[in-house]
Each structure stands twice: as structure tokens, then as C-alpha cells.
A and B are shown apart, each in its own frame.
Chain A
Amino acid sequence: MNKELMHLRVNGEEREIAIAPNRLLLDALREDLGLTGSKRGCDDSSCGCCAVLIDGAPMLSCVALAVSYEGREITTVEGLGGPGELDPVQEGYAEMGGAQCGYCTPGFMIATKALLDRNPEPSMEEIREALSGNLCRCTGYMQIYESVKYAIEKLRAKSATQVPAAR
């Protein structure tokens, strides 16, 4: 299949790549853009390791064609925060044991980020629900919940200090 030039907006940057129209978004990210943080864990959209945010909503990049997402805002794990400024979600997974082998972690963090963006105070049931599209083989999920709670606390503290300034 012939390659075509296209533009993807990834982690706030405009990127130009030449890819075949059947290129999966996951492969475009990993192979063409060198963003290997998103992982492939299955071949049938059952594990969630490849999840990315499309305009803020979590999506599986292994079942998405890259061409379909021109002009959309794509956020990968690399876009959540770098070594200099970790996102509270990343901090939570690092500090509380949410990442053991770390392979499912990017997908879990994307799902967590999407959840907390739309619902900063989720109940335990809402957390479980939001994370049930992802599979983790290491943790038994308990420390993942602790990681999410850590991020919630951190965000709460952050917004508490920000609100007066905004007013």
C-alpha cells in the first residue's frame, strides 16, 4: 500500500509522517514517531496497554487507523508529563506500587487521567469501572487503587491552592 503524508497532533505538537492508510495508530506512534510508551499486549483490544487520549477520551490505539485521527488531539503517556514534571497520576503510580512490571501502566494511567479529568472525586466503584478496560497481571489492582487515590489527593491539594489565586 502506498504511503501518504499526514499530520498528527501528538502531545501538543504537530508531527508529519508518511504512512500507509492502513497503519494502526499504535504503530504510527511507536514505529513512526518513536513514542514507545504505548504498548501492545494483545491483538484483540482486550488489554488496554495501548490506550491513548483522543481529545481527552481514552481510546485503544491498536484498533484505530492513524489516518482517522488527523486534526485530533492525541495524548500518549509521554504527554502526561516528563521526568521534570510528572503528572499527579504518574506520581501516584510511581509512589504507591501501581507500576510493578510497568507494561500495563501507560494504559492504566491514561484511563485514570481520563477518569479524573471528568470526575475528580470518583467513588471506589467508579474507579473500578473506569479501570476495567485494562488488564494488569502483577498487582491484583489493590496498589493501583492506592495510586489513583494518591493522584486524587494530590489534585485536590493542587486545586485547593489554585482556587484563591484564580479568584
Chain B
Amino acid sequence: MAKNTNGYNIIGKPMAMTDARAKVTGLGKYADDLSVPGMLIGKILHSPYAHARIRSIDTSQAEALAGVKVTATGEDARNPYGILPIGHDERAFALGKALYIGDNIAAVAATTPEIAEQALDLIRVDYEQLPGWFDPEESMKASSNWINEERPQNIEKEYHHIFGDPEKGFGEADFIAEERYYAGEVNQAAMEPHATLAVWEPDNRLTVHSSTQVPFYLHRTIASVCEMPMSQIRVIKPLIGGGFGGKSEIIPLEVAACVLAKKSHKPVKITYTREEVFLAHRGRPITIVYLKVGLSRAGKITAVRARVIQDGGAYCGYGPVTVLYSGALLGAIYDIANVQYDGFRVLTNKPACGAMRGHGTVNVRFAFESILDQLSHQAGLDPLEVRRRNLLKAPCITANSLRVTSYGLPECIEKVFERSGWAEKKGNLPYGKGVGMACSHYVSGAANPIIRSNMPHTTVHIKIDRDAAVTVYTGASEIGQGSDTMQVQIAAEILGVSTDRIKLVAADTELTPIDLGSYSSRVTFMAGNACLNAAKDMRDQIVAAVARKFGCAADDFEVKDGRISHKSDAGKSLSFDEAVTVALEFHGALVARGTYAPPETARGGKFKGAGVGPSPAYSYSAQVAEVTVDPETGQVRVDKIVAAHDCGKALNPLTVEGQIEGSVYMGFGQALQEDMIWKDGRLMNPSLLEYRIPAAKENPEIESIIV
């Protein structure tokens, strides 16, 4: 597992997660595990109709029920919000119209969950039903009855990009394939249903404990919706039971709990049922891909044309970004000069889709890799060989202005070629068995923040005091991926101490500096670099004081194994504890800081929509699946998946392998068994019994390879 660690003591070696003991003892606290004295339980009333005008809401009977402390409707918080500055179309509770089955109409907070449930039944809502839009290709033809009057034809956003000369490219092709691909809708289905505890403090401040991947955006949104200054609000992220993008924007219960807490001046907790998790959704949208690709006899891709339609649901959410990712990463994994992309994000009367794992890129990747196999077949070439013939020559800038520096795809392909036994197996297995392969890539963090600014994307502070404990203050959100552990490793490595000495305080807006959140695979690259910079700053401060004490230059010292020692004079050496005392005497206080912002050269092109796709670095992967198909029943069984992944330096191989295997698993689930089934805007399988994510017995063996 462990590869060459290049002289590192901690980095690159497998390390158990720092919060593992809290998790295996059951003592760690997730949002729903929290309670405070006097806490009320909040429940949300959801729309039973997919598209309806709200004529009136009467909460008086609910309010009269003993034990009900407060109710809230759209009138209590009118400010719109949304994760993107261009998409503020959600409100705490619907104002005027309900846009999907499950839309948020009103809420109550009561002394027990049973009373709160009962109170929901007493809220009278007068609806006028409107015709609904459920099929994205039908919805985008709408001439009236639009879901959002400001979005004509129900089109949230469309983008049209042409790079190179696609027509000329198709002219040069010896083989052309043209297909329509359809990918159904899937949900993150993190094991932890969302929960939020909003506590109204005695000094009229608000403290919000929430299952969020984005405490910073939640902080901003609560301030706006509750009309309070950010300085009066504290957001704390407890342990999070999985995210995968499902907690990467503001989820209705977070806003509802805060509105109820502010109105009642009491602590209010709301926990979603599993059905509500599906209704809040933010999963991967239904994606229809019309794809045309040309290939030369030599196996070179000559041109790509894609028309992508995404069924975004009733609100904007991350929509424009999702549909831009579909285009930005469509052709940029291979060396393709001519690409045309037409992307449409369409509104329908369904729950809003969001930024699910591999944001916007997964379904178009499926389509592209599928058509590439078809073209390879047409050309009589091995599909793996076709991938080899279309590699980028990194470092380079892709046709759509993405800067590619390190490019581990060739190695990924060769690794899965060897380890899967591709050469022996491809085309040689008995009837009903086969191997197939595909490649993919993704950003290591978006180079451009959601809210444009010139501030850093992430900041880390480190403090050391007389106990010689190193306290790292980071805004980064641990959601099970190992973000806390990664930063502990970095700080310990740079300061030459054991990981036990590092205390980490994370994701609490009152204590920790800003990090934009756990999304777009950004945390190790960005928060990791900020932590590295802070640790170096701290190390330099300590070394400067020690060098001064011995009357030497700072460069003469090394920091290793819990000591600060002169490189050539063994007599000049202090333990870390002693060095801290010397440094405190010299500096007075030991406080260090580090930030990270992506370099200008990584921020992409200038065309409309160019802001999505650029990243300071890209990760690459290749996979081979061995599959058995029962010729009688058509049942597909995946026997094994070999996955090679280039994520750059694997700081913690244990968690990197966990991430590879978990993502393979989730892709497998979507490919073979997960699908949200809709009927006139009603989700027919809003439970884990009917929306079946793979269990151990269904899941294939996965071999992960770190490149």
C-alpha cells in the first residue's frame, strides 16, 4: 500500500482517521444526536401538489394546539436564497406557488415530535392546482404556465460553446457515431439524514449546528434569510454522516429551523425522515445526451458534438454550474481539438437537483466512453488502445482553456491494463462474460469561487501555547473523507512532531477561519496547502527563535522527530517543548497562518461559462470491469472492478483507497440498480427499501490502485 514516502515521516503512510475512535465508540455526535434543554422539535409541511398556486394558509388551529410553540410560513422570511448568486429563487417557505411535491409550505415547532406532526395536519392550505412539467424535453417547449416567470420556456440556463472547427473535424473522420444516451436520476443517499439544531442564544445570537458540507455558505444564507448580521450567527458542523454533494448547498430544513428558532426565541431541531431526504434531493439530474463523435482510421478523435439536456427540478440550485461541468470536462480528458457543446438546464416540477459526486461530469462521461467503445468497434481497434492514442501531451492547455499540469491518465490506463489481465481477456472470455473499460477525470477544487472575490479560498491558523500542544484551526469540513486527518498529518510532518500532539478545531465559524466547503474535491488541495503554509510559518517562527538562542542562522537547523537540531553541531538541539518555551520568550505569542488561492494561470478562459471547469490540478482514473451476463435472463453481474486513480501524491493511502472504492461503488450503484422513479412529479421510491443502494452482497470486488 505505502509507496515511496520520499523522506516523509507521516505523509504518504496509511493513517487511521483522527475521529475514528469517536465513531467506533458511538460517542461522536452527529447533528441529530445533539439536544439542549428546552429544545423544540420542528416539522415541515410539504406540498402535496407538483405545481399549485397557494391561495391562503391558515395556521391558527395548529397554533392553538397545546405544546405548539410557533409556526412559520413564507411571510416570515421573504428573502430569496440559493447557492449561486445568479440563482436566488428559493425561500424558507413557498410564497405564491408550490413548485414540486414536497415543496416547503410551512413549519411548526412543538415540545414533542408527535405534537408537531399533529399540528401539521391542522394547517389549512388552499391550493389551486396548475398543470405540471415533468419531462425536460417537453418542459423546454413550454409557451406558458412557466414554473418560474423569470425563466421563459422553463430554461434555467443554456450555454453554447464551439472550440476549434467541429465541422471540419467530422469531415476528416473515417468513422462517425451518433447516439442518444439517457441517464436516470440518482440521489446521494448518505446514510445520515439531514438534521439541524438552531439555538437562539440568551444574547439574541443564533448558533446553528447542521449536517452541512458548506458551513460558510450556510452562514451567509442564514444571515440573509433571517435578516441578521453574520457576526450574530455561529455555524458549527458536527460529525457528518456522508455528503457526496447532498449537503453542499443550503437545504430547506436548515433555513426552516433557523426561522423557527428566531421567531420562537427557542432552540429548534429538525431532522429529516428518509423520504424528506429524497424530497430535498440535490442529487444527480436526469441527463439526456445527444452525442456525435468522429474517429480517424488511426484511432484519433477528430471532433465531438454534444447536446445535453438536464432535468434540474423546480429550483436553480447549482444548475448552471452542473450543466457547464458537463461541457467543460466532456472532451478535456483527451486531446480533442474540435468540440461543440450545447447545454440546457431545464426546470421541471420536481425536487431540485444538485452537485452529486463528480458534479455534472458523470453522465456525459458515461455517454462519451460508451460511444468511444462503439467507434473502436467500428474501426476494428481495441478500445483501450484508442484511449492510448488520444492522450493529452501534458503540460498543456486544452481546447477549452483548461490548464493541465500533471496527467496520470497514461499510467492509470497501463495499470488497469496489467492488473485486469486485459490482453488475455478482451475478446477471449466465454460467451456471456466480458471486460470493458472507461476513463475519467475531475477537478481538484474549482479554481473560481462560487461568489467571486479576490480573497483566499481557505485559511488555516495554528496556535501553540505553554502546553506545547499544536492547535490547528481550520474551516475545512470533515464529512467522512478524512479532511481532519489530512491536516493533522501535514501539520505534524512540517513541525516534526507526532500526530498525537496536534489538536484540530474545524468548521466552527466562531473559532475557525474560512474554508469554502467540502465540494468539488477541493479540500486536500486547498485546505491542505493552507495548512502546509501555516505549519511552515509556525516552524519558521520556532526555528528563528532557536537559531537566535544559539547564535546561528535559521538554515542551520532541521525540525525532525520532536526536536529542533543543528544540522552539524549535535550540542545545539532542543526538544519541541523546550523550543516552544524559547519561541514564546522571543515572540511573545505563537500564532501562524496560511492561506490558499488558485493561481491566476489556473483560472481558465474568458468566454461565457469559462469559470467552470478550471482547477489548479486534475485527477485521472481508468477502470476495467469484468462482467457476466446471464444469456437467459439478461441479468448482469459485475465480477470485479479494477480501478486506478491518479490524485497526485496520496497523503494518506488508507483514505485514498477508501475514496476510490467508495466512488467505484457509487458508480456501480447508478449503473446497475439505482434509479429514482417518477410519476407525474411524484417520487415512487422515496425510501432505501425501494431505492436500493448496493449492499455487501450485490457489490463487486474492487481492486484499487493508487497511481
Residues of A within 8 A of B (CB): 30, 35-47, 49, 76-78, 80-83, 86, 90-91, 93-97, 99-106, 109, 127-129, 131-144
Contacts and interface: CB of A to CB of B under 8 A. Distances in A.
B335 interface: no
B43 to A, nearest CB: 14
A144 B241 contact: no
Nearest to A30: B33
Given A38-B26, A101-B241, A102-B480, A135 B695 contact: yes
B689 interface: yes
Interface residues of B, number: 56
A140 B62 CA distance: 45
Q: Is the interface of A mostly helix, strand, loop or mixed?
A: loop
A104 B191 contact: yes
B121 interface: no
Nearest to A147: B24
B191 A136 contact: yes
Interface string B18-35: 011111111111101100
Top 6 nearest A-B pairs (CB, nearest first) are A37-B26, A101-B480, A103-B241, A102-B23, A140-B665, A77-B26
Given A101-B192, A137-B191, A138-B242, A78 B662 contact: no
B116 to A, nearest CB: 14
Nearest to A144: B696
B697 A129 contact: yes
A46 B694 CA distance: 12
- Highest count of chain B CB atoms <10 Å: which of A83, A136, A138: A138
A111 B243 CA distance: 24
A128 B661 contact: no
B658 A100 contact: yes
A140 B662 contact: yes
A82 B695 contact: no
Q: Point out which of B17, B20, B243, B663 has the most chain A C-beta atoms below 10 A from its C-beta.
A: B20
Contacts of A101: 190-192, 239-243, 479-480
Given A43-B274, A143-B657, A137 B26 contact: no
A2 B109 CA distance: 22
Contacts of B273: 43
A26 B657 CA distance: 33
Given A42-B274, A137-B244, A100 B481 contact: yes
A41 B688 contact: yes
A99 B24 CA distance: 7
Contacts of B33: 30, 36
B618 to A, nearest CB: 23
A128 B481 CA distance: 24
Interface in B189-242: 189-193, 239-242
Given A93-B20, A137-B242, A139-B661, A103 B688 contact: no
Interface of B: 16-17, 19-30, 32-33, 188-193, 239-244, 273-275, 479-482, 654-655, 657-658, 661-666, 687-689, 693, 695-697, 699, 701-702, 704
Nearest to B643: A140
B197 to A, nearest CB: 13
B112 to A, nearest CB: 10
A138 to B, nearest CB: 5
A103 B30 contact: yes
Given A94-B20, A109-B24, A42 B664 contact: no
Contact of A99 (B17, B189, B687, B704): B17
B191 A41 contact: yes
Contact of B687 (A43, A90, A104): A43
A134 to B, nearest CB: 7
B698 to A, nearest CB: 8
A94 B21 contact: yes
Contacts of A30: 33
27 contacts: A36-B32, A41-B193, A42-B274, A42-B688, A46-B687, A46-B688, A77-B24, A78-B27, A93-B23, A97-B16, A97-B655, A100-B482, A101-B191, A101-B239, A101-B240, A101-B479, A102-B19, A102-B23, A102-B241, A103-B480, A106-B26, A128-B696, A138-B242, A139-B665, A140-B663, A141-B699, A143-B657
Contacts of A109: 24
A99 B27 CA distance: 14
Nearest to B701: A142
B21 A83 contact: yes
B285 to A, nearest CB: 19
Given A94-B20, A101-B240, A135-B191, A86 B666 contact: no
A99 B23 contact: yes
B425 to A, nearest CB: 22
B24 A131 contact: no
A83 B699 contact: no
Contacts of A39: 30, 191-192, 241
A134 B695 CA distance: 7
Nearest to A124: B701
A95 B699 CA distance: 22
Contact of A102 (B28, B193, B275, B654): B28
Contacts of A35: 26
Given A99-B20, A140-B665, A140-B702, 8 more contacts: A36-B33, A77-B24, A94-B20, A100-B662, A132-B695, A135-B191, A140-B664, A143-B657
Nearest to B242: A101
Given A97-B657, A137-B242, A137-B666, A44 B687 contact: yes
A43 B275 contact: yes
A52 B614 CA distance: 47
